[in-house]
Amino acid sequence: MDNYTLITDVTCDLDDRTYEDLGVVCIPMGFLFGDSEYMHYPDEREMSIKTFYERLENGEMPKTAQINPLVYREYFEKSLKAGKDVLCLSFSSGLSGSTSTAFMVARELEEQYPERTIRVIDTLCASVGEGSVILQAARAKRAGATLEELADKVQDDIAHCCQWFTVDNLMHLKRGGRLNSFEAIVGSALKIQPVLTIDPEGKLTVVSKERGTKNALAYLMRRLREDAADANSQTILIAHADCPEKAEMLRSMVNAEYPGAEVLVYKIGPIIGAHVGNGMCAMVFGGARPGFGK
């Protein structure tokens, strides 16, 4: 349907070609190294993802910024002024305040454009978890779903979006309050790799601590076997934070066990990368999402 625009933000960690192919509008987000501010766009125009992780590896500590209300207004109004409604799928409210800003701007614009529909949905997802919801939504829109039909589908997809992450750099989790200093130091010495998921409130939670990359990826594969709804016939997303070899290892494991699955691999950008560090690997699929449906 062409009478509404599907909008999201760059934390989806899809690439510019994917957004273009899907017809999805992507809002950039900002990050800082020291006093220097950059915007992360899907085409990496201000800083490449490779450069970002090189600076991270060299010890620079970035900070991220929420989306400014004026930015949401700019992107929403572009569609509204063109006579189109808006469906915005936003980064998890459990990890960012950007979603509440999007809701606020939507309410303000509804008063200015009473003839238009503006829907904001909190995906309760992050990185390619959010990307998976966007991918399915865009495909359904292309197949002819109305805005309301798509909004209902998105809510169901969110409830079945299984998001599993394994992390190398425990110090970034310590900074974010996911591990204490002792756990981070001991875990690093023992080469412990935590496995995390996104809980029903949209927050990161540690669910397992595996020793070494092979065990961590094996845990992700176990979740795929046990939780996926017909993994052999769905789209499975993999993403990595400057560790393509780990992502390729996981892709090979999925392909060997589920040759019918469509497996897409993406790079984790600076907004998520600032909080998880180099070495994160994620896998997302549809199935029984922990904490939902209980």
Q: Per-residue pLDDT tens for 215-237?
A: 999 999 999 999 998 999 999 99
Buried b or exposed e, range 146-182, using 16+ CB within 10 angstroms: ebeebbebbeebbebbbbbbbbbbbebbbeeebbeee
Q: What is the mean pLDDT of the chain?
A: 91
d(CA 125, CA 163) in angstroms, rounded, equals: 8
pLDDT at 186: 38
pLDDT digits over 254-271, tens only? 999 999 999 999 999 999
pLDDT at 191: 66
Angle at 212 between CA 209 and CA 214, to 5 degrees: 105
Please choose, from the candidates 148, 156, 157, the residue with its C-alpha nearest in 3D space to the C-alpha of residue 1: 148
d(CA 256, CA 203) in angstroms, rounded, equals: 32
Domains of the chain: 4-159 (3.40.50.10170), 161-286 (3.30.1180.10)
Helix axes 244-257, 213-227, angle to 10 degrees: 40
Q: How confident is the model at residue 174 (pLDDT cuts 50, 70, 90)?
A: low
Query: Which is more confidently placed, 176 or 35?
Result: 35
pLDDT at 182: 35
pLDDT at 205: 83
Q: Tell me: pLDDT of 202 over 70.
A: yes
Tell me the average pLDDT across 71-97. 96
Q: Tell me: pLDDT of 203 over 70.
A: yes
pLDDT at 70: 97
pLDDT at 143: 96
Q: Tell me: pLDDT of 167 over 90.
A: no
Query: Which is more confidently placed, 286 or 212?
Result: 286
| DSSP category for residue 148 | H
Q: Tell me: pLDDT of 294 over 70.
A: no
pTM > 0.85: yes
Query: Which is more confidently placed, 283 or 176?
Result: 283
Tell me the average pLDDT across 87-105. 95
pLDDT at 269: 97
d(CA 265, CA 52) in angstroms, rounded, equals: 19
Query: Which is more confidently placed, 183 or 160?
Result: 160
What proportions of the chain, in percent to the nearest 5, are helix, strand and coil? 45, 25, 30
Sort 83 into a burial class: Cβ within 10 Å, 0-12 / 13-18 / 19+. Answer: exposed
Q: How confident is the model at residue 178 (pLDDT cuts 50, 70, 90)?
A: very low
d(CA 52, CA 55) in angstroms, rounded, equals: 5
Q: How confident is the model at residue 172 (pLDDT cuts 50, 70, 90)?
A: low
Is residue 130 within 8 Å of residue 89, measured between CB atoms? Answer: yes
For the record, the structure tokens of 96 come out as 């960012």
